[in-house]
Each structure stands twice: as structure tokens, then as C-alpha cells.
Structure 1
């Protein structure tokens, strides 16, 4: 297996890991997103922490895709290669902010549960307000990370793939469409046109999901198409 083929396999695996880890993480730590209700209830800390662990795997995989693709993209466009790596680092950093917010909600619940018996005068309402604020931080991080930053990174990578022919054109076009759609959806959510977690939001994210899975399968099974020069 030559270096380029090995890079394609590693990149394909990492893209699949991002999809699995993102979905598993969201499903597992979802109880903590109730915020106020979570800190005042019995909690599900082991489940939430397992979700956070999945998010940590996601962070590593997101950064890994940028690093793995850098030498391949750099051969044709060094500036875009650097931009893609930086974009993936930014995406991972924003996701990390959301992960820390979820962990803080767990800490609040544990602290409230520990003080309830020792300090009868403790005010649960204050903990609930703090938890709600932390969930809001996580929600905004989710909008800016796996939506805006992901969309921008998808556009950069799909553009390079389209111009160089590293993958079949229809796959690159799927990425261009998916990146554009999820960015537009993020703007719509930002201005309150519909909730972030909604049927419309899920439909807007579907093309990006299809792009990453299709790209991963292509790289795992066929690798990169030999690079051609940019058209004049």
C-alpha cells in the first residue's frame, strides 16, 4: 500500500468515526441538555460521561481528517490545505466548548446532590439557572461548530476535490451542496426562523452527512483519483 492509498484509508476511517461518535455522543449525553431538570433530578451521570467520551473521540477524528488530508491537498493548493487544517482545528475547539459545558452541568448536579443533605438552605433554583445557561452555551457551540464551521470546512474540501478530481465530480458536488445548505440553515437558526433541533434542521444536515459517508466509502474502497492540474 503506497502512501497516498494509506492516507485515503486513514481519512476514510476518520470520517466514519466522526459520524458514529457524533451521533452516539448526542444520544448519550442528551439527558444533560434538559439543564434545570437534570441538576434537580437523579441524573444519569455515567451515561452522560460516556457521551462526553464519544465527543472526545469526535474531536480527535475531526482534527485527524485535517492532518491526514494536508499533504494530499498541499500538492495542488497549499493555502487551502492550511485553511482546511485550521478550519478543522477551529471546529474541534468550538465543539470542545460545548463538551465542557455539558461536563459543568454534571458537576452542578453532583454538587447540588452533595449539599442538599448538608446545607438545608441551599437554593436549587440558582443551580437550575446556572445549568440552563450552560446548556445555552452548549447549544450555541453546537450551532457554530458542527454547523457553521463544519459547513465552511466542507465547502473548502469539496472545492479542492472538485478542482483536482481527487474523487468523482458528483461526490464533490454533493459536498458543495451540503456545505452550502448547512451554512444557510445555521443562519436561519441564528435569526430564529426555526429551532436548531427540528425536522427542517435535520433535513438541512442530511446532505453533509451523506457527503462524509460517501467520501469515506469512496476513499476506503477506491482511494483518490490521480490528481490533475487545475483548469486554466
Structure 2
């Protein structure tokens, strides 16, 4: 009698809850080296997709040069850090060129929790129109949008790391997630209308570990 066919259960899904006290300090984790510069791109809904390929705007991750491909926003945040839900979560999506031959993940996604600076009074806007106003203001009247992603990075780059999945599409488990611990404040054209139904639900951690590159202060 042949053995039954077993369908593997998905065990590395994202997003998750990150708890500092239940994560593990891993001093061997190297700092991320952000080699960002101002780049042109196309704004489509909740995504800013870089126009040009290549490693000009990239991050050095474990010695690998990983080009930035797009900026993807969620309102509110999908991940929770120590129980906090942020108004915005930015995903800086990088391609890992060494996948699959030398590295098991296809993407390095750097997550940044964003809070909003006080905006002008008025009706709250959904994420798409809000981002259009945000990028239009930064364009300074120019037709094309350009962005230097460093404006979204906090000064302290301490982070959590875990292995997970994309939070859109087919939820493929091919992502190394790096979530920056500290939030960053950004300006917008109006109050932002949060819509939790557009976010993916928090997923179970299963048999994974969350690492961090910073020690706790006693």
C-alpha cells in the first residue's frame, strides 16, 4: 500500500506579533547598510514602484547587494511591535539576487512603522489618495515622482528579524523580514482613513524564532 500524500502546511506566514521580551538577542546579526539615493518611480494605489532596475538604490544585507524594487504601504500596520498598531507600515521590498542558488529567500523586506504628523483639518482620506497627496507634495510641482527612501528611516536602525511570507498575492514563504524597532513620523496632506480590512490578519508564529540585533537595557 502506498504512503498517503501529505500536503505541507504553511508554517512561515506573515504578518506576526513581535514581542521584544520573547525575541532572542543575536549579536552576530550585522547592521543593514542602506545605500539609498533619490530615484524616480510610478505611484499606483498603495505602491511606489521604482522605474529603473539595477542596484543603484539598494541595501547591503549579509554581504549581499539587494536592489530596492518598490515601497508598499499599509494603513494601519500589519505587524504589531509590543502590542502597538501603527497608523502606517511601510514595506521596502528588496530583491535578493542570490536566490535560490545561494540564499533561500527571494526578498528582503524592511518594515518601518510610521506615525503621522498633525495634518490640516478636513475629511480623512483613504490610503491611495492620501499617498497621492503625500508624493505630489514632495514632487514640488513636477510631473514625475521621485523619492529618497531614507526620509522614512529612523536614526536608530535596530531591528527584529524573522523568516516569513509575502502579505499579498499568494503569500509565498520566500521573505526574510527585517522590522525596524523605532517608528518614524511622516507628513501627509490630510488625516488618514485607516482600513484594517485591507490588511492581512496576524498569523501564528508556529515553530519560528524572532531575532533582534539589540540588547535589552537592564
* Alignment TM-score, normalising by the size of structure 2: 0.23
- Structure possessing the higher radius of gyration over alpha carbons: 1
Q: Which gives a bigger RCO, structure 1 or 2 (Cα 8 Å, sep 6+)?
A: 2
Relative to the length of structure 1, the TM-score reads 0.22
- Counting helix residues as a fraction of each chain, which structure ranks higher? 1
